[in-house]
Structure formats: structure tokens, C-alpha cells
Amino acid sequence: MAFCNSLHIVTQALCLSTSPIPIFYVRTCFLHQSMHLSSTDFFTSVLLKSLLLTVLWLRVTDEIPPSIYCYFFSISLSLNHVFMSICPSDFNYNTDGYEGDGAEDGKSQDGSETLPYIDESPTMSPQLCAPQGPDGETVSPTPPEGLLPGVKTRKGLEMKKLVLSGFLASEEIYINQLEALLLPIRPLKATATTSQPVLTIQQIETIFYKIQDIFEIHKEFYDALLPNIQQWDEKVTVGHLFQKLASQLGVYKAFVDNYKVALETAEKCSQANSQFQEISENIKVKGPKDSKDCTTTISMEALLYKPIDRVTRSTLVLHDLLKHTPKDHPDFPLLQDALRISQNFLSSINEEIDPRRTAVTTPKGEARQLVKDGFLVEVSEGSRKLRHVFLFTDLLLCAKMKKAAVGRHQQYECKWYIPLADLTFQTLDDSDSCPSIQVVPEHELEEMKIKISVLKSEMQKEKKAPKGQSRVERLRKKMNEQESWLLTHSPTIPFRIHNKHGKSYLFLLSSDYERSEWRESIQKLQKKDLQACVLSSVELQVLTSSCFKLRTVHNIPVTSNKDDEETPGLYGFLHVIVHSAKGFKESANLYCTLEVDSYGYFVSKAKTRVFRDTTEPQWNEEFEIELEGSQHLRILCYEKCYDKSRLNKDDNEIVDKIMGKGQVQLDPQTVQSKNWHMDVIEMNGIKVEFSMKFTSRDLSLKRTPSKKQSGVFGVKINVVTKRERSKVPYIVRQCIEEVEKRGIDEVGIYRISGVATDIQALKAAFDTNTKDILVMLSDMDINAIAGTLKLYFRELPEPLLTDRLYPAFMEGIALSDPAAKENCMMHLLRSLPDPNLMTFLTLLEHLKRVAEKEPINKMSLHNLATVFGPTLLRPSESENTKGQHITSASDIWSHDVMAQVQVLLYYLQHPPISFAELKRNTLYFSTDV
């Protein structure tokens, strides 16, 4: 008896630690299998037990799949059932069906809640415990041959009753949990109106949002289902009850939308009020009617998770009910409809809830939960290494993927780990040596982007070719290598962690958003009572091996890892208006930054002005952001710090405090409409209101012919210079002068977007020749002035380097012989009209002066060429795209834009070019253009 009990415990521990199937799925097998063994099968069960030991060993060595292992595990549960009937005093196994309680009920021993990903797929149902057919699909245990169809139907309906009985038992537990969660509301509301409230009415409504509605829905469902199970026969129908339950999932949607806010509010209230902390940590829940234990104590955080978990479990039950319901039974179409509604609901909220979290059981029986993981660049021995970092509830583990032999599973190798109890974010002392960081020049990163774009274009062509698939795979492999290199060498924002008993470790991130997420996740876990842990070599090996199965981020975030059907992202210009923000408790100096993703990492693209001393900033600032395959927009809200004593070099001199951050997906169907799309990002109780619209690259690359003669924008350059009696338009001269006066040291000048409303104000002033232009320029944000200059060149009806010469510029830059390229490129400049040439040379010398300050402003010649190349060369629609079919936005970027960048870069890297000398010199040979 003791041996079998030990066997069951070992089996259960192995299932938790090595199988990806959660324990509540396996418990379903108990319901399915245990009803078919009686005490008279004792000797048979002993034989099965011997077989099970063999299967367990095969599972540990990965020789059989988890589904088969789980099937045999269900047999071990059945064995327990047999021995319980013989000697029930030796066993006390809970059979609450789908729900369960205690440590296995989605709750770790440290009190933290395990949050499984909400999965609506049939493959995640308890059917996994059954054997699989030859086609890989799960099948029910085959009934004995010779059974009549009616017998099969009766067996199926008996199984259906078992499934419903188990689910009904779990419904009772769930209702008790909701009822316990509702109990504190009345006394909390009573104190809310007194002079010493525990919580405010608003806090109560936030924490317990929709709980009463969910309770009433399930109480009604339970009361209606119970008599059907008690008076069961073949004609009983329950499909209408499940259909009604599914139709009320809108209440769950509201609950899920509020879930994070509810948890945050409850946590803050617990920290601020000891009374509420006592209430939230010790909620008494009644056990089932036939349970020996009258009550159990569960935390409010754990109870608030129950509704999210419940939808998944209800969906799993629907899969099993359909499996055991004949297709001609009245319940079948109703259950199908309920399942469809449930799956659609789960699909709609999967992206909105916390990512999949999985627990691993240590040899000591402690639950260690994976909270967060991702790919980070570590600076190790002076070089950059791409690592997969895993944050568990009690430690941080840094691993690298080992190269796997053919036919072997990939595995991780642990590089180091730090117990969270020993982890700090303190910076190195001045006396300590700071590791040197290998910095790749900006132009090399840009050149790699161009190579990747070329490969993408080649892959698209090969996919259309009859026998191009083998070459596609070679191109994909090469692109993966180049994208991984870019991902490794582009991050620059340091994130240092320190082991207070040992050394420091340095990561480089591409985004302040990402650094904040890691820091906040670690600090939240450190608020709990953590004990320092030391892992033995065996424990460390087991934990590292489990990382492959536990990980939630499976692939390096590069394009080549995505399926061909996945969206390639947006190419073009995203217009964003940051309107306002609410929810700040104290006045502060506030501003927002905007980030978009490109080539697997995020880049800061725009920044609002600082709104001083306010709790409700009203920016109403518009930005134009260029997208390169982008799929997400991030908004970060900061409090500006003017205290120079808080300068922190380890944080890349960023000392401003992040007040909140949020992210939205750039859905092409939503943002590509001509109208503005308004949205709100909620971040830690702060709400930022913004609007956006998108112009695709194929549209933004077109110049619209204009017959406008007044003003300067959209007017031919020779018309403007003739009217002004100047060699270079006044707008170009004034903007260049202002940028060189006070913007040449500005980080990201010409790359960071200016406020669109300021740019439009300057545009109107130049168009109307306002006398106050100089005053406006001196007061205006320098990024708006830089943006005005870019806008002027972009809106020229013909590019500065002309439509006529565009094909020749494309051919000239492609020449491989340096002497031939020099002669051709200089001859093309000489062929430009004088106003165009003078303006181009003026701009060229200005951009060179900007690039001289690259160590300060981070704008290299290549950066500037990327910004201005398409603007100065992009042909007008009438000459370039008339009658042509544009295949895709990424193709346009791959071919036209990178060549335009190379043309400008050639002239920027060329020694100074004098207008007089250029006109005076003759070529060794000349060709008509």
C-alpha cells in the first residue's frame, strides 16, 4: 500500500516537472478511467503498475511522447481508486473533477498564482489523456468488437454523464470561491462612507468589478444543471444550458479587460492599508458539501484569477461533451454552438491577457514559476552575446541555446543565475572597471538593413519561380543570420544587474520600455518574502533542461522566423497625435515618447514637449513617423527630472522617471483608413489619449503634380528663386541657419519628428511671407524647424535632383569602376538647373557640418542620407509610376529607396564640391544624359 502511494506521488511530481500537460487535465483522466476498475481487478492492477514504472522511465528519457505518458498516468490514478476501495484510510485523494484545490489548483506554494495561457484549441482538452490514432488525432478508447451501435451510444452517454458530474462538482467549488470573494464587499462599502475608510467606493468597484454578475450567471447555471444530472437518462438535454452560459461571456470580457487594473489596485491597497491586507490574504472558502474540510484559506489575488481560468475549463468540457454526444442527439448542435462562441471569445482575448506562465516543481517539492523570458544581448568579455533570459519566481537564469545534433532536441546551457533575494540594480562604483562595449558604426547597421531588404526582395521573386523553393530556403537562412547580427549589434541602452555576493552583469537593450518591463517584473517579485537559494549541479541541470519546454518566447524576433502568411508589417508614414493624459496623482513635468519596431527591435521616433507642473497635460501634438515593416507602436510617459545631481551614467544618462508605458498593435485595416483613428492606452492607472492614421509607402513615395504658383511649398524651385531673386530659396537658408545655430548638438536632429502642428504653422508662415517668421523660428522647437525643411523638399512638385536625371542617377550609382562613377556623378550634378544645383550644394555642406557632430547628435552621414535621400530624389508620380504596377511596399524600399540613399551618401562622402569649379571643369569624356 505504501509503495503504491509513493508511486502515485512520484508520478504526480514527474508529471508536473516534465510534462507540459497541466495536472487538472490529467485529473480528468481519473474521472474517465477510475469508474471502470473494481477491487476484484487487484492482480490486473498490479501488473499495470509494473508496466507504468517502465513507462515512467521511458518518459523521463524522452523516449515516448507526453500524450502516451499521460494516458498511463491516468491508469496510476485508477490504481489509487482501487486501493482506496480496499483501504480508504491510507488514501485521501481529491476528486473534484476539473477544479481541484490547494497547491495543484493553479497556485504555487509561495502563494503566487499560476497563469496558464487561455487555450481554445481542442488539442489542449483532457482528451490528451487518451491514446492517439494513426493520423495523430486523439481517439477514445475503442469499445470491444461486436458491440452494437446502441451499446456504443449508451457507453458514450454514460461517459457524458461522468464528464458532467465532474464539471458540476467543480462548478460548486467555483461558486463557493466567487461567493467568498463577494463577502468582504458589504463591510468594505459600509466603512467607505465613514471617516476612516478601508477602501474608497471607486477602489471597491474596481477590485470586485463584475464578480456579482459572474456569480449570478454560474449560480443559475448550476441550479439548472443539477436536477438533470440527478435524474439522468438518455433523453436528458443540457446543451441549451451551455449555450446560454456561452452567450453571457460578454461579462467575462469586461472582467478580463479590468483584470490587470483590479490586481494592481488590490496590491496598492494592501500596501497602503494593513486591514485590507489582512482581508485579502485570508479569505475563507467553503468546501464541497461532501468534503471533510469545511473551509480553505485563499488569497484575493488567487480568487480574482478564477474567472479567467474558468472559461478555459468550460471550453475543455464542451470538447469532451461533444466527443461523447451522438450527432443525432438534440444536444449536439447546441453544444457545437456553445463551443464556437467560447472559442471565438478565447481567441479575442488571448492577446490581452498575461502570456503563458508555467510552473516547474523542484526536487524539494517547491513550485518555481516562469514569469517572463526573452532574448537579450549580454556584454560578456567585451563582446555581445545573444542570450535567452528566464525570470522565475525566485531567480533569474541566463542561458544560451546549445547546438543540437541531427535528430536531437535543442537544449539550453546555463551561463549563470542569480537568486532574486541577492539581486540588486545598484551601479558599479567608480573604482570598479566598467566593461568596454563594442559599438558598431551606424552606417554598418544601415548597410545591413539594405542587405536584408535585398534578400527579402529576392525571396519574393524566387517564390514565384517554378523551382525556386530550394533557393528560398538558402536565402531565408542567410537572412536569418543577417537579422540576428543586426539584432545583436543594434541595442545601446544598458541594463545592469548585480549579485550582492558576486559580480555584475550587463545587458544592452534597444528600448527604455523593455528595460523598464524587466526591472518592474523583478522588483514586483522581490516584494515577496524571498529566501536566497543555492542550486546543486543536478538541480541547475534539471531547471535549465526544463527551460526549453517552459519558454514562452520561442524564436529570435526576426522576420525570417515568421510564416509567409504573417503580416510583414507596415511601410510608410504613421501620423500620430498625442492629445492628453489623465490619472496623475501629483503635479509633475510630463512628456511622452513614441517608439516603433523595425527589424526585430524598437526605436524611439518622437517626443512631445514637456508639460510643466500639471496632473492633466494637454499636448495635442502631431508627429509623422516613418515605418519600416513596423507592427507595434509604444507610448512611454515620463516625468522630467531637472536635478543634475541625479545623473546616472550607467543608465545612459536617462534619469527621467517612467510614469507609465503601453503598446498598441498597428492593424493595417484600422490605421490605413483615410480618417483618424482615436484610441486610449492605459498604463498603471494613467490614460493617454492619442489618434493615428497611416499612409503606405507606395502612396507616400509619389509626388503629386502641382500648378500652384503662390507661396513656396509645392511650387517649383526655379519659380521661387526667380520671385525672391535669390540663388537658394529663403526657407532653405533660414531653416539651415537656425538648425546650425541651436540644433546641431540635438540628439537625432532630422531623425526625431517635430510636432506636426508647429510644422504646419511654419509652413503657413513661409507660404504667406509673414513678417514674424524670424521670431517664430527663434521660438519654435528645433525638431519642428528640421521637419519644415524636410517637408519643403518632400512637397516639391519635382524632386530637387529632377525627374529627367533620375534614371541616370540610378545607373551612375550602380557603376563599379570608381573613375567612371566619379565622372558620371559629377556630370549629372553639372546637368542640374542652377537653382537646383545651388540649393543641393548648400544643403550638402550643411549636412556634412551636422555629421561632424555625430558623437553628440548621433547623426552620421549614413543616417542623414537615409533621411534626405528619398526626399531629394523620389520621382514625381507622372514620370516614375504612371502605368507601372507596384508589387509591394517592401519591394519599393528594397529597390528605389536604398539606391536613393546611396546617391546622396556618395555626395556626402565626396570632398567639398564648389559650384564654380564644377561648372568650369571638363570631363575626360562626356555623354548626353
CA distance 821 to 813: 7
β-sheet bridge partners, residue 493:
509
Same domain, 834 and 867: yes
Query: How many other C-beta atoms are found inside a 10 Å radius of the C-beta of residue 597?
Result: 22
Task: Measure the CA–CA gap between 770 and 626, rounded to whole angstroms.
Answer: 30
Residues 9 and 49 occupy one common structural domain: yes
**Residue pair 13/367 in contact by the 8 Å Cβ criterion:** no
894 and 794 share a domain? Answer: yes
Domain-ending residue, one of 320, 352, 384 = 352
C-beta atoms surrounding 661 within 10 Å: 25
End-of-domain residue from the set 700, 719, 741: 700
If asked whether residues 476 and 503 sit together in one domain, one would say: no
Q: Give yes or no: residues 417 and 504 share one domain.
A: yes
Beta bridge partners, 639, equal 590, 657
| Residues 511 and 628 placed together within one structural domain of the fold | no
Supply the DSSP string of 526-573, one letter for each residue.
HTS--------HHHHHHHHHHHHHH-S--S-S-GGGS-TTS---EEEE
Closest CA to 717 of 732, 703, 704: 732
Residues 6+ apart with CB under 8 A from 388: 373, 374, 375, 398, 399, 400, 401, 412, 547, 551, 553
136: in domain: no
Is 147 contained in some domain? no
Q: How far, in Å, CA of 862 to CA of 845, rounded?
A: 15
> Domain holding 833: CATH number?
1.10.555.10
529 and 598 belong to one structural domain? no
Give the SS3 label for residue 680. strand
| Contact assessment for residue 492 and residue 652, using Cβ atoms and an 8 Å cutoff | yes
Whether 78 maps to a domain, the answer reads: yes
Whether residue 437 contacts residue 379, with contact meaning beta carbons closer than 8 Å, is answered with yes
SS3 category, 492 = coil
Residue 338 and residue 399 in one domain: no
Residue 238: CATH number of its domain: 1.20.900.10
C-alpha cell at 464: 514565384
What single DSSP character describes residue 137? -
Domain total in the chain = 6
pLDDT tens-digit readout, 413-459: 999 999 999 999 865 443 344 556 667 877 788 778 878 877 877 88
For residue 479, being part of any structural domain is answered with yes
Q: Are residues 526 and 667 in the same domain?
A: no
- 509/648 same-domain check: no
Residue 96 located in a structural domain: no
In Å, the largest CA–CA distance within the chain is 111
* Contact status, residue 591 vs residue 648, Cβ threshold 8 Å: no
Q: Is residue 579 part of a domain?
A: yes
Range 433-439, long-range pairs (CB < 8 A, 24+ positions)? 435/379, 435/382, 435/506, 436/382, 437/379, 437/494, 437/506, 437/508, 438/379, 438/382, 438/383, 438/384, 438/489, 439/492
Domain that holds residue 553: 359-429+492-558
Given a contact cutoff of 8 angstroms between Cβ atoms, the answer to whether 749 and 602 are in contact is: no
Report how far residue 103's alpha carbon sits from residue 365's, in angstroms, rounded to the nearest whole number.
11
Query: Which residues of the chain, if any, have pLDDT below 50?
Result: 1-50, 53-148, 351-357, 363-364, 428-433, 565, 647, 649-652, 879-893, 923-929
Helix axes 442-464, 898-909, angle to 10 degrees: 150
What local confidence, expressed as pLDDT, does residue 843 receive? Answer: 97
206 touches 215 (CB < 8 A): no
In a domain? residue 449: yes
Q: Using DSSP bridges, classify how beta strands 632-639 and 657-665 pair: parallel, antiparallel or unpaired.
A: antiparallel
Partners of 633 in the β-ladder: 596, 664
Q: Is residue 830 situated within a structural domain? A: yes
- Here the CATH number for the domain that contains residue 531 is 2.30.29.30
Of 558, 585, 613, at which residue does a domain stop?
558
The string of pLDDT tens digits covering residues 90-146 is 333 233 333 333 333 333 333 333 333 333 333 333 332 333 333 333 333 333 344
- Looking at the DSSP bridge assignments, the partners of residue 573 are 626, 695
183 and 203 share a domain? yes
Is there a single domain that holds both residue 580 and residue 553? no
Q: Report the pLDDT value the prediction gives residue 259, as an integer from 0 to 100.
A: 85
Question: What strands, in cross-sheet order, belong to the sheet with 677-683?
Answer: 618-630, 570-582, 686-696, 677-683
Grid cell 475563507 is found at 284
